Amino acid sequence: MKRRSIIIFWLLLLMPTLVVGAAAFKLLRNEQRRINQEVRLSAQDRAHAIGDSLQLTVEAVEDGLTEALKRIPIEKLEDILISWEERNPLVRNSFIWNQKVGLQKQKPGSYTTSEERRFILRYSSLISGRIPWKNSGAEEEQTGLVENQGRRQKKIRRQKLVERARQTAGEYQSSGGDFKEASRESAGWIPWFEANNLYILGWVRKESGGLVYGVELEVMTLLSRLITDFPLTEALSEGMVYAIIDGNGKVLHQAGKAGLKTGTRPDITVSLAPSLPHWQVAVYFIDGTMMTRSGRGFIVLSGILLAIFIVAIVLGGSLLMWQAHNNLKDARQKTSFVSSVSHELKTPLTSIHMYAELLSTDRIKNPDKKKHYLKVIVTESQRLTRLVNNVLDFSRLEQGSKKYHLEKLDMAVFLCETIKAHSLRIHKAGLVLKENIPDKNIIVETDRDAMEQVLLNLLDNAIKYASEGKELSITLKVRKEYCELQVVDRGPGVPFAHRESIFKKFHRVDDSLTAGKPGSGLGLSISRRLLRDLGGDLLYRLREGGGSCFIVQIPFN
Amino acid sequence: MKNLKKGKKKNWRMRIVALIGFCAVLSIVIQVDAGVSESGVKCRVEIDRAVLPAGGAQKAVVKITLDAPPPPEKSMRPAVNLAIVLDRSGSMAGQKLERAKDAAIEALRHLGPMDMFSVVVYDHNVSTVVSAQHATNIEWIEGRIRQIRSGGNTALFGGVSQGAAEVRKNLDGNYVHRIILLSDGIANVGPSSPEDLGRLGAALIKEGISVTTVGVGTDYNEDLMTRLSQNSDGNTYFVESSRDLPRIFTAELGDVLSVVAKKVHLIIECPNGVKPLNIIGREGRIKGRFVELSLNQLYGSQEKYALIEVEIPVGKSGEKKDIAYVNVSYENPFTQKKETSSGRVYARFSKDRIKVKKSTNIAVQREYYFNLNAISQERAISLSDEGKKNEAVSELKRSANKLKEIGQEHNDEELLKRAEEMEIQAGQIEKQGMTKKYRKVLRTDSYQMKNQQMSK
């Protein structure tokens, strides 16, 4: 397969895969964005709901206290306000103020508790009359409040808290007189800031006499109650923190499984004004993710599936391509093998046919010539036999039906005999043979025919490819566990890239050297398999100074 | 015979004189009308000197002592509504948290089926481990407590708020309401100034809930913890080693289980001319001739007192003048009835300086100077916080000298011993500076003195 075809194939495979993958990832990102948006909207809604609930709580407390304040009979005003201070946890301080006299209950310089002293200092501008008694919010507590239906319903649910706020006034309700009369009074709540801390002052003004009185809310109690109304951590998604923060961004309370680092900015804020000015309900998305666990799970799983899909396509395509490439290579090798074998078979057959025909016509009278022709026929038929043996052996080896007849074999004797039988061929090929065979018996237990076939294959290769080197050396050495036969020539050697491939079936070094030589590409493959079956091996070493060295290892047992 | 008769007459005369003398001495010594209630809380009112110098306006100290009776043996003790609020922030990990859990379980085992028990834990989050329930299913509750694991930051305000919410579930029942807060670190989530937590304490006491604070180690904010206890009339403890936690919890529970009076309210009225100036060591209200003080509870056999500085007008020699009338009202937790007790104190005037000196009530003087010493300890902490270490040491030394001077003047061992302790403390601070430990010791000592906390 040509490189260009491979590139085109890869492009055809990769391009659509990548396009599909990119499109799928884009869809996933869109889905993630959509889920994030939904989570954000849901968190925003929840923050608004919490904010509404907190504001209603504060309003309920304020309404309850205002109502109770209005019901206090003027003659018992001071006593009742002091008892509120002592018994109602929602009341921090109380006051009675007159436009002419100023503070009546506490007189600057003669306060009764240290808390009163701080109260006087805190509201000095209000007490001195520099700031008028006016509600800072848009809502003025006049004859009835304008409320929408939803808030009214929520307020009913807060009735219990109103009752709690009224608690201290309960005993005075009956003596408080007519509410209609009270409703003519004006009242309000003033959020007050001192040293960045929020204070809330509630007041009621009697129309006659300019008397103003009221209470300061205990903000810490209020916060303490608001906290218990805040959602529980267990009910919140992981990675999401809900908090109440003050005007300085300080977290007053938080709920959520993750902790908040100092300076973290909220992702969503909902103001608690006018009830609690500058206070906010804040939502933090930890690590920048808004995902719920299930949402994140969906995205991660989809991502993994998509990645698996892309990898599977690429791997599957590659596998198919590799398979096709192998099949093509095999087909080529087989074609080459058939062609080579046919040629190999045809050449000796042609010679045999030609000389046999000449001899059959009786035209050759010269007995030497006859003898020569018969010798050629014998040689060529031997060559044909070797070739057919190779093909048969290959077939048996492929099928696993090759049978070996093990026998005691003296390698030195066997080698000498075989070399002697083929010395003429070697000599005719122009090779000078050097034998280094020890003069002793080297007994191995092996298959004689297999050994002969291996040796003939190696000699044939030397005659075929290394005859120009003029040198062939056959050495037998005894090693510890096996004997080693080295067949060394001064031929061109095997190129580096083919040193292992030459032992593969049908493989032939495809260059000018072998192109002109006939061969099936089976000799070395069969030799190695035979030897390995017999417990030995066939290796190739590059010979120093050029040439090849084939090493045959034959185990003793 | 005549001589014998004369002798007998003389004897009788001497006996009568001795009896009159004894009665006179007794009348001087017992210038206090004890409380009317025999089995209830007794109110004793004393003045630092029974005889005051005549001929000039002067200041005096009135001590109002409430003697709580021991809990009745036959009656069933009042039920307790207890919330334990545990810090499980990262710094509590390991032994501290394990001992804290042991302590909570120890407290649970002291309770009976009629008591309510809840456990709240907090790190940056607040969660209720055991919601308010009768202390009956002990094994299950123990299991829940054992499962507590350490976490992150310290949302102390949220923890106390949630603990209060658990107590509030049974606020209407006849219980002694108590939160025990344990922390080892600086509150860093939510309101975390002593002022803010003090306000929370002040609000909780209005609902009858006291918060006892237990600080572990040397890293917690003692100002915040003591202010919370002080304003809610709870106890405060400084525990250097977490090993002591179970002991402290047991001691605290011993107090809580022996409450003999709840919602104690004192009204001190001074007659015309006598002006209350100052309340030493306690928060209260001075309104003209009246002083009002509140305590959330009195424990069995405990003695709690209040010290009021008053200004007394000029008196003539031999004149007897009323100084204060005291009315105490409280709720008897055994009968759930309102009970009262009262007392009064007067003083005589004399030009005789020796008589004036001899009339000194050392018990009142001692407590007065101990309380002044507690205020000096707090002042020393403030000075040290401002970086004025030398002034802080001088303040402590000055206070020690004063204690020594008064101790030597009246030959009082307790005052001398305290003076010595203060001298040692001042010396250590001079040498090593105001370490975290010394600061905590001073703050806790000062509070325990002002609150008359017995178990330390």
SS (H, E, C) A290-347: CCCHHHHHHHHHHHHHHHHHHHHHHHHHHHHHHHHHHHHHHHHHHHHHHHHHHHHHHH
* Beta carbons of A223 and B157 less than 8 Å apart: yes
B85 neighbors B182 (Cβ within 8 angstroms): yes
Cα-based angle A365, A366, A369 (whole degrees, multiple of 5): 120
* Beta carbons of A220 and B127 less than 8 Å apart: no
* Beta carbons of A254 and B155 less than 8 Å apart: yes
How far A6 CA lies from chain B's nearest CA (Å)? Answer: 59
Residues in chain A closer than 8 A to B124 (CB atoms)? 254, 259-260
**pLDDT means over runs of 10, chain B (456 residues):** 46 55 43 49 94 91 93 83 94 89 92 94 92 93 93 90 94 91 87 92 93 91 92 91 88 87 93 92 86 90 92 92 95 90 94 91 93 93 93 94 93 93 92 91 89 64
Residues in chain B closer than 8 A to A253 (CB atoms)? 155, 157-158, 189-190
DSSP A107: -
> Is residue A443 in some structural domain?
yes
To test the contact with chain B by mutation, choose from A78, A79, A161, A227 the residue with the greatest count of B C-beta atoms within 10 A, namely: A227
What b/e readout covers A237-267, taking b as 16+ CB neighbours within 10 angstroms?
bebbbbbbbbeeeebbbbbbbbbbeeebebb
Residue B33, SS3? coil
Which chain B residue has the Cα nearest residue A197? Answer: B196
To test the contact with chain A by mutation, choose from B121, B122, B123, B125 the residue with the greatest count of A C-beta atoms within 10 A, namely: B125
Please say whether the structural domain B33-72+260-357 has been given the CATH code 2.60.40.3670.
Answer: yes
**Position of tokens 């005659």?**
A463
How far A191 CA lies from chain B's nearest CA (Å)? Answer: 17
Query: Which one, of A316, A114, A39, A152, lies nearest residue B199 by Cα?
Result: A114
Residues in chain A closer than 8 A to B153 (CB atoms)? 259
Give Cα separations from B23 to A12, A265, B18, B29, B216 (angstroms).
124, 79, 8, 10, 54
* Beta carbons of A259 and B123 less than 8 Å apart: yes
Give the per-residue pLDDT at B113. Answer: 92
Which chain B residue has the Cα nearest residue A250? Answer: B190
Structure tokens at A241: 């923190």
* Beta carbons of B203 and A219 less than 8 Å apart: no
> Is residue A71 in some structural domain?
yes
Residues in chain B closer than 8 A to A233 (CB atoms)? 125-127
> Is residue A349 in some structural domain?
no
* Beta carbons of A218 and B203 less than 8 Å apart: yes
Give the per-residue pLDDT at A161. Answer: 52
- CA gap A237, A284 in Å, rounded: 11
Widest CA span in chain A: 166
Whether A155 and A11 share a structural domain = yes
Residues 369 through 428 of chain B touching chain A, CB cutoff 8 Å:
none
The CB density around residue B25, as the number of other CB atoms within 10 Å, is 10
Beta-bridged to residue A192, according to DSSP, are: A199
Q: If residue B85 lies in a helix (H) or strand (E), which one and from where to where?
A: strand B79-87
* Beta carbons of B206 and A89 less than 8 Å apart: yes
Give the per-residue pLDDT at A230. Answer: 84
- CA gap B180, A246 in Å, rounded: 28
Fold type of domain B79-257: Rossmann fold (3.40.50)
Give the CA dihedral A482, A487, A493, A494, nearest 10 degrees. Answer: -40
Boundaries of domain holding A506? 405-555
- CA gap B265, B370 in Å, rounded: 24
**Count of residues in chain B:** 456
Query: Which one, of A508, A504, A499, A464, lies nearest residue A337 by Cα?
Result: A508
B65 touches chain A (CB under 8 A): no
B197 neighbors B227 (Cβ within 8 angstroms): yes
* Beta carbons of B124 and A260 less than 8 Å apart: yes
Those residues whose C-beta lies under 8 Å from the C-beta of residue A139, and which sit 6 or more positions away, are A145, A274
To test the contact with chain B by mutation, choose from A78, A83, A223 the residue with the greatest count of B C-beta atoms within 10 A, namely: A223
> Is residue A68 in some structural domain?
yes
Residue B100, SS3? helix
Residue A213, SS3? strand
The CB density around residue A406, as the number of other CB atoms within 10 Å, is 13
B368 touches chain A (CB under 8 A): no
Give the per-residue pLDDT at B161. Answer: 94
- CA gap A401, B171 in Å, rounded: 97
Give the per-residue pLDDT at B51. Answer: 94
**Chain A to chain B, count of Cβ pairs less than 8 Å apart?**
82
- CA gap B284, B267 in Å, rounded: 10
Give the per-residue pLDDT at A517. Answer: 67
Residues in chain A where the model's pLDDT stays below 70: 1-3, 105-112, 135-184, 207-209, 287-295, 340, 343-344, 510-520
Residue B315, SS3? coil
Interface of chain A toward chain B, CB-CB under 8 angstroms: 86-90, 92, 112-114, 218-221, 223-225, 227-228, 232-234, 251-257, 259-260
To test the contact with chain B by mutation, choose from A111, A224, A233, A257 the residue with the greatest count of B C-beta atoms within 10 A, namely: A224
Give the per-residue pLDDT at A149. Answer: 45
Beta-sheet pairing, A102-103 with A91-98: antiparallel
Q: Classify the C-alpha dihedral B104-B107-B111-B115 as positive or negative.
A: negative
Is it true that the peptide bond before A274 is cis, omega within 30 degrees of 0? yes
> Is residue A386 in some structural domain?
no
Give the CA dihedral A411, A414, A417, A420, nearest 10 degrees. Answer: -50
Structure tokens at A94: 């109380």
* Beta carbons of B127 and A233 less than 8 Å apart: yes
* Beta carbons of B287 and A260 less than 8 Å apart: no
How far B196 CA lies from chain A's nearest CA (Å)? Answer: 7
What b/e readout covers B378-416, taking b as 16+ CB neighbours within 10 angstroms?
bbbbebbeeeeeeebbebbbebbebbbebbeeeebeebb
Every domain of chain B and the residues it spans: 33-72+260-357, 79-257, 363-451
> What is the ipTM metric for this complex?
0.80
B126 touches chain A (CB under 8 A): yes
What b/e readout covers B53-62, taking b as 16+ CB neighbours within 10 angstroms?
bbeeebebbb
> Is residue A320 in some structural domain?
no
* Beta carbons of B157 and A233 less than 8 Å apart: no
B451 touches chain A (CB under 8 A): no
**Count of residues in chain A:** 557
Residues in chain B closer than 8 A to A234 (CB atoms)? 127
Structure tokens at B438: 């010394």
Q: Which of A90, A252, A255 sits opposite B191 (nearest CB)?
A: A252
Which residue, A264, A291, A318, sits at the end of a domain? A291
Which residue, A244, A268, A291, sits at the end of a domain? A291
Q: Which of B155, B161, B283 sits opposite A224 (nearest CB)?
A: B161
Whether A410 and A534 share a structural domain = yes
Which residue, A251, A273, A291, sits at the end of a domain? A291
- CA gap A167, A175 in Å, rounded: 15
Residue A200, SS3? strand
Whether A546 and A424 share a structural domain = yes
Helices A219-229 and B194-206: crossing angle, nearest 10°? 80
* Beta carbons of B189 and A223 less than 8 Å apart: no
The C-alpha R_g of chain B, in whole angstroms, comes to 25
> Is residue A336 in some structural domain?
no
- CA gap A553, A442 in Å, rounded: 13
Look at chain A and report how many structural domains it folds into: 2
**Position of tokens 């009970």?**
B339
Give the per-residue pLDDT at B23. Answer: 45
CATH number at residue A531: 3.30.565.10
Taking each continuous run of H as one helix and of E as one strand, the counts in chain A are: 14, 16
